[in-house]
């Protein structure tokens, strides 16, 4: 990727000379500004790797622009142009934070050498920042080097330092919970409580008392006062997971919390102030739910102050190798198995999958592969990826290449095992390991699903 340089000088011929000199010799694009104020406007609109700026300009001079850049773009490298022999200005520029200076008129070889060095510094700063960000988020298994994930990491860093409400959107399995935990861990509230609330799993008539607490005698069996989750999260963060599934009554009560920063326990006549940072998530299209009168518009705008949209795995395929290696290492350690590597054939298949269940589905497939594998390498026959093999074949039905050499009963049992692991695993992925909801989706009784899971050793804990 070529570098982007902003040349700032009130002498238009000088900026054009810089453009003609640098672009053919360095892999870069040079944009031009003819005043410091013009440069400030351009900097707000575009991203640059380097600024070359003359010191003496009418109106705002180069020193003032340097101070503005140091305050607003601290990682941006700046090189100053100064009249030949004016060493005092050059020293002053370095003391104020410029990386280097170039005397005018300049020699072509000298300016090319100095600009290359300045760009190397910019690249190093960016790489260090990326590695630090990756280290911070890796603790919560948010992993990725693709451009979409780098944008997510930038957004996490940006929102973590504030107390403003964040709404995380994305398909199931994209890492909304991990994103919320990363924001909390990087925030000033990191030493206080992080309270996650899985909204759809709590019946609405119970959710209100869970969130806001209640007074003794507020309802049958309320034998003592109970603190709500908002109070438990005081000075910390509360994470309202899948908030798109809550009803209008709770929406109204949560709107008051967002507006007033106070809660009213059930049965109490007094409100209680809470100091809580709210992060919410959903895999639903809230704008469509607003159009269908299923979600309050004012509540949505209170939630959607700082939005973060997580990309589906199919939009960041280049992250699959590093994700897969991390997940295999993690689960080998968790299952107390020897470390395993992933064969090229398996990785090629993983890269071709559509992954409707996203990272969670990838993780489940790899967990099953680890369980089936009998050596230190995950091979094709270890992986429940028959749907990919079927797509590669022109024939309908199952791909029987992996079982054709087996006796009928063994082949049937292997195909049944793989089918049930794939099908039930996908359902458990969508319900975060909730067997009751998975059974409902399968149009089965819970007991029947549990019997199948027991027969084929499908552990719901792996999907939670």
C-alpha span between 280 and 243 (Å, rounded)? 6
C-alpha span between 264 and 270 (Å, rounded)? 6
CB distance 424 to 449 below 8 Å? yes
Q: What is the DSSP letter of 444?
A: S
Name the pLDDT band for 334 (thresholds 50, 70, 90): confident
Quote the pLDDT of residue 34. 94
Quote the pLDDT of residue 37. 92
CB atoms within 10 A of CB 452: 16
Q: What are phi and psi of 448, to 5 degrees?
A: -65, -40
pLDDT tens-digit map of 53-96: 998 898 888 899 999 998 888 888 999 988 766 777 778 888 88
Q: Which CATH entry fits the domain spanning 314-463: 1.10.10.10, 1.10.8.60, 3.30.70.600, 3.30.499.10? A: 1.10.8.60
pLDDT surpasses 90 at 382: no
pLDDT tens-digit map of 142-154: 888 888 998 998 8
C-alpha span between 310 and 300 (Å, rounded)? 18
To 10 degrees, what angle do helices 344-352 and 320-334 make? 120
H helical segments located in 195-312: 204-212, 229-232, 248-260, 286-291, 297-303
Domains 3-130 and 314-463 share a fold: no
Indicate the fold that domain 147-311 takes in CATH. Answer: Rossmann fold (3.40.50)
Mean per-residue pLDDT of the chain: 86
Q: What is the pTM of this model?
A: 0.60
CB distance 4 to 42 below 8 Å? no
pLDDT tens-digit map of 407-460: 877 778 888 888 888 888 878 877 778 898 888 888 888 888 988 998 888 888
CB distance 112 to 21 below 8 Å? yes
Indicate the fold that domain 3-130 takes in CATH. Answer: Rossmann fold (3.40.50)
* Segments making up each domain of the chain, as ranges: 3-130, 147-311, 314-463
> C-alpha angle 174/177/180, rounded to 5°?
115
**Beta bridge partner(s), residue 228:** none
CB distance 222 to 263 below 8 Å? no
Residue percentage of the chain with pLDDT more than 90? 42
Positive or negative: CA dihedral 236, 241, 247, 248: positive
């Amino acid at each position: 990727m070529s570098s982007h340089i902003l040349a700032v000088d009130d002498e238009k011929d000088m900026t054009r000379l810089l453009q003609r000199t640098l672009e053919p010799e360095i892999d870069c694009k040079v944009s031009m500004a003819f005043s410091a104020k013009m440069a400030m406007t351009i900097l707000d609109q575009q991203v640059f790797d380097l600024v070359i700026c003359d010191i003496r300009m009418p109106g705002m001079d180069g020193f003032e622009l340097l101070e503005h850049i140091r305050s607003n773009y601290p990682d941006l490298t700046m090189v100053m142009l100064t009249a030949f022999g004016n060493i005092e200005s050059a020293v002053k520029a370095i003391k104020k934070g410029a990386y280097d200076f170039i005397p005018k008129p300049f020699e072509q070889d000298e300016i090319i050498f100095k600009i290359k060095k300045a760009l190397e510094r910019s690249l190093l700063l960016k790489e260090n920042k990326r590695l630090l960000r990756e280290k911070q988020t890796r603790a919560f298994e948010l992993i990725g080097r693709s451009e979409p994930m780098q944008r997510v990491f930038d957004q996490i860093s940006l929102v973590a330092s504030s107390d403003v409400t964040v709404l995380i959107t994305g398909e199931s399995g994209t890492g909304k919970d991990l994103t919320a935990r990363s924001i909390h861990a990087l925030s000033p509230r990191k030493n206080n409580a992080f309270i996650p609330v899985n909204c759809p799993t709590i019946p609405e008539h119970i959710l209100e008392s869970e969130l806001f607490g209640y007074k003794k005698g507020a309802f049958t069996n309320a034998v003592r006062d109970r603190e709500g989750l908002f109070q438990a999260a005081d000075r910390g963060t509360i994470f309202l997971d899948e908030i798109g599934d809550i009803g209008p009554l709770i929406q109204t009560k949560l709107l008051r919390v967002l507006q007033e920063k106070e809660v009213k326990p059930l049965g109490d006549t007094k409100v209680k102030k809470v100091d809580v940072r709210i992060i919410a998530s959903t895999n639903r299209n809230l704008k469509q739910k607003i159009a269908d009168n299923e979600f309050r518009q004012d509540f949505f705008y209170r939630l959607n102050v700082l939005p973060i949209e997580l990309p589906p795995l199919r939009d960041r395929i280049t992250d699959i190798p590093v994700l897969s290696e991390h997940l295999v290492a993690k689960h080998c350690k968790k299952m107390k198995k020897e470390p395993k590597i992933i064969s090229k054939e398996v990785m090629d298949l993983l890269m071709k999958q559509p992954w409707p269940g996203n990272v969670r589905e990838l993780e489940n497939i790899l967990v099953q592969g680890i369980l089936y594998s009998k050596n230190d390498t995950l091979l094709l026959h270890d992986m429940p990826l028959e749907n990919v093999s079927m797509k590669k074949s022109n024939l309908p039905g199952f791909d029987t290449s992996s079982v054709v050499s087996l006796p009928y009963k063994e082949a049937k049992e292997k195909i049944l095992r793989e089918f049930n692991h794939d099908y039930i695993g996908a359902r458990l992925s969508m319900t975060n390991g909730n067997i009751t909801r998975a059974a409902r989706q399968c149009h089965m009784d819970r007991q029947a699903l549990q019997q199948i899971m027991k027969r084929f050793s499908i552990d719901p804990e792996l999907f939670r």
